Chains A and B, each alone.
Chain A
Amino acid sequence: MAVSIYLPAILAPLADGARVVDLEGPTVGAAVQALTQRYPGLTPRLVDERGEQYPFIAIYLNDDDIRLVGGFDATVQDGDELSIVPAVAGG
């Protein structure tokens, strides 16, 4: 499943300046893993030491916070968009 992953400006330097990365993955977790394999510097900002979502980011599968739709196990469809957004905002 081909998905596009959108990175915030603050993480782009860890991905050679990329803001959008096209990757394959049957699940959100697989897509994130593919992303961190391509750009290892992103790993600690996306995944914590337990292999769970890093607490200072939010990940959206299209318009849904992945924590509400299965987390890293959520399945993705061709053309889906994953948006990574800093968590500390709003209120």
Chain B
Amino acid sequence: MTTTLSPSPNETGARTSRPPAPHRLFCSRCQLTFDAAPQALCSTCLGPVQPVYEHDVLPTREELQRRPRTLWRYAEWLPFAERPVVAEHVGFTPLVEAPRLAQALGVARVWIKNDSVSHPSLSFKDRVVATALNAAHAFGLTTVGCASTGNLANAVAAAAAAAGLPAWIFVPADLEPAKIVGTTVYGPRLVRVRGTYDDVNRLCSQLADRFEWGIVNVNLRAYYGEGSKTVGFEIVDQLGWRFPSAVIAPMAGGSLVTKLHKAFAEFARAGLADGEQPRIYGAQANGCAPIVRFIQSNARVLTPERPHTIARSLAIGNPADALTARAAIQTSGGWAHAVTDDELVLGIRQLAETSGVFTETAGGVTVAAAYALAQQGRLRPSDEVVLCITGNGLKTPDAVASVLQDAPEIAPRLSAVEALVAAAA
């Protein structure tokens, strides 16, 4: 199937490959503004910068619904004045109702926001790469890269291959094999760094100073992060322009919960969503839960951690967005919870067995946290809950392989199956 982005309300005519004019940037701490640039930090206070949005007219629900089903249908809330020229077919993953999971959790309704089937690389990171690569294109950066726990590596490699851009991708040396294969198949330069993700991230910060590369989650981070908002926009759109009462999402660096909160606030301001903005709950694995502990302890500063968990895609011990993640969760009336590795493995199975969705370890963390939050009474019987399932189970099959039932091997005889059926009765 081929889709194309329809012209935004102010555009007509043929598709052009003109670079997509990124928005200017501003620092929310010191209110300084900056010209559009591959710059993630305020040059004065070193705080994060974010795009400036200056709209005269915003689209209506009806206008939005007439646009193609990609994340670019929300163009007015994405940081470009022109249409995208790369990664055009990303987003609009299924929002799947899961009544059996709702029953198990004891809440009114549950939906899975299923980014485990995201195009092209089967995780929500396709969204942030879509905005980052358009920024790279606009800034004339002809090589891209990232520091990654795996999913971002897959997403950058795939999108860079489609765009014809060389990519330098840095990951922890002991990353899961499926995520290595799911990167190298696209032909980037993949570099395995001895150390944790935080070591990789530090290296990439230094590389951004050394090379004129578009490192998507370092110097392009202001544009990259805006892609995460589309998860929130799609949830509202797919629910029929209303908010759920609660959203549960995994936390690694803390960006997703931050941007979910921003997305819900933007759609509320635009009058596009009915109801109250949802409570946002963040989930981490006990073996790397610096944001959960930051929230639960209400500490003044975050204490970094050395990760020890099988949830490798969440194993960021020094999360960049901890402050904003905490603010988003607390402002929304939500909470944060950490689960054990055994619980997350059970969470993967519970999601698969109740909803037919196979998620990776991060999704298991989200599901296990949902069970815990329900048990604590933080999720209420009247709640309508969306679980953000951010990655595909085929990326981390070893996490569950050892706890699943072995399949019996039989001779091709009717009697052998009759014996199995009798034993299963």
Are A and B physically bound partners? yes
User: A60-B202, A83-B206, A85-B206 given as contacts; is B306 within 8 A of A68 (CB)?
Assistant: yes
Which single residue of chain A is at the shortest CB-CB distance from B325?
Answer: A91
**Partner pick for A91 among B46, B195, B206, B217, CB 8 A cutoff:** B217
> Any chain B CB within 8 A of the CB of A87?
yes
> What A residues does B218 contact at CB under 8 A?
89-90
> What B residues does A68 contact at CB under 8 A?
304, 306
| A interface majority secondary structure | loop
Q: A91 to B319, Cβ gap below 8 A?
A: yes
Q: A91 to B205, Cβ gap below 8 A?
A: no
B180-215 interface bits toward A, Cβ cutoff 8 Å, 1 = contact, 0 = none: 000000000000000101110110111011000000
> What B residues does A90 contact at CB under 8 A?
147, 197-198, 201, 204-205, 217-218, 253, 316, 320
User: A9-B209, A63-B195, A86-B46 given as contacts; is B320 within 8 A of A91 (CB)?
Assistant: yes
User: A45-B46, A52-B301 given as contacts; is B40 within 8 A of A88 (CB)?
Assistant: yes
**Partner pick for B320 among A10, A54, A67, A87, CB 8 A cutoff:** A87
Q: How many residues does chain B have at the interface if contact means C-beta atoms less than 8 Å apart?
A: 37
Q: A91 to B254, Cβ gap below 8 A?
A: yes
- Closest Cβ of chain B to A19, distance in Å, is 8
Q: How many residues does chain A have at the interface if contact means C-beta atoms less than 8 Å apart?
A: 24
User: A89-B320, A90-B253, A91-B316 given as contacts; is B147 within 8 A of A56 (CB)?
Assistant: no
How far does the alpha carbon of A52 sit from the alpha carbon of B300 in the complex, in Å? 12
User: A90-B217, A91-B320 given as contacts; is B46 within 8 A of A10 (CB)?
Assistant: yes
> What B residues does A88 contact at CB under 8 A?
40-41, 46-48, 221, 320-321
> Any chain A CB within 8 A of the CB of B45?
yes
6 contacts between A and B (CB under 8 A): A8-B205, A45-B45, A60-B202, A67-B304, A87-B320, A88-B41
Q: A91 to B255, Cβ gap below 8 A?
A: yes
- Closest Cβ of chain B to A23, distance in Å, is 20
Q: B303 to A55, Cβ gap below 8 A?
A: no
Q: B202 to A91, Cβ gap below 8 A?
A: no
> What A residues does B47 contact at CB under 8 A?
56, 88
- Closest Cβ of chain B to A37, distance in Å, is 21
Which single residue of chain A is at the shortest CB-CB distance from B201?
Answer: A90
A52-77 interface bits toward B, Cβ cutoff 8 Å, 1 = contact, 0 = none: 10111110100101011000000000
How far does the alpha carbon of A74 sit from the alpha carbon of B255 in the complex, in Å? 31
B356-398 interface bits toward A, Cβ cutoff 8 Å, 1 = contact, 0 = none: 0000000000000000000000000000000000000000000
- Closest Cβ of chain B to A89, distance in Å, is 5
- Closest Cβ of chain A to B351, distance in Å, is 24
In addition to A58-B202, A63-B195, A91-B252, 8 A-B residue pairs with Cβ atoms within 8 Å of each other are A55-B323, A56-B45, A56-B46, A87-B46, A89-B205, A89-B221, A90-B218, A91-B320
How far does the alpha carbon of A90 sit from the alpha carbon of B125 in the complex, in Å? 12
> What A residues does B316 contact at CB under 8 A?
90-91
How far does the alpha carbon of A67 sit from the alpha carbon of B306 in the complex, in Å? 11
Which single residue of chain A is at the shortest CB-CB distance from B147?
Answer: A90
**Partner pick for B201 among A6, A55, A57, A89, CB 8 A cutoff:** A89
> What A residues does B199 contact at CB under 8 A?
63
Q: B320 to A85, Cβ gap below 8 A?
A: no
> What A residues does B41 contact at CB under 8 A?
10, 56, 86, 88
> Any chain A CB within 8 A of the CB of B318?
yes
How far does the alpha carbon of A25 sit from the alpha carbon of B195 in the complex, in Å? 27
User: A57-B46, A58-B318 given as contacts; is B306 within 8 A of A86 (CB)?
Assistant: no
Which single residue of chain B is at the shortest CB-CB distance from A6?
Answer: B206
> Any chain A CB within 8 A of the CB of B43?
yes
Q: A10 to B43, Cβ gap below 8 A?
A: yes
> What B residues does A57 contact at CB under 8 A?
46
How far does the alpha carbon of A29 sit from the alpha carbon of B198 in the complex, in Å? 22
- Closest Cβ of chain B to A27, distance in Å, is 19
Which single residue of chain B is at the shortest CB-CB distance from A57?
Answer: B46
- Closest Cβ of chain A to B297, distance in Å, is 15
> What A residues does B209 contact at CB under 8 A?
8-9
> What A residues does B45 contact at CB under 8 A?
45, 56
How far does the alpha carbon of A54 sit from the alpha carbon of B208 in the complex, in Å? 21
How far does the alpha carbon of A25 sit from the alpha carbon of B204 in the complex, in Å? 28
> What A residues does B321 contact at CB under 8 A?
88, 91
- Closest Cβ of chain B to A65, distance in Å, is 5
> What A residues does B253 contact at CB under 8 A?
90-91
Q: B303 to A67, Cβ gap below 8 A?
A: yes
B34-69 interface bits toward A, Cβ cutoff 8 Å, 1 = contact, 0 = none: 000000110101111000000000000000000000
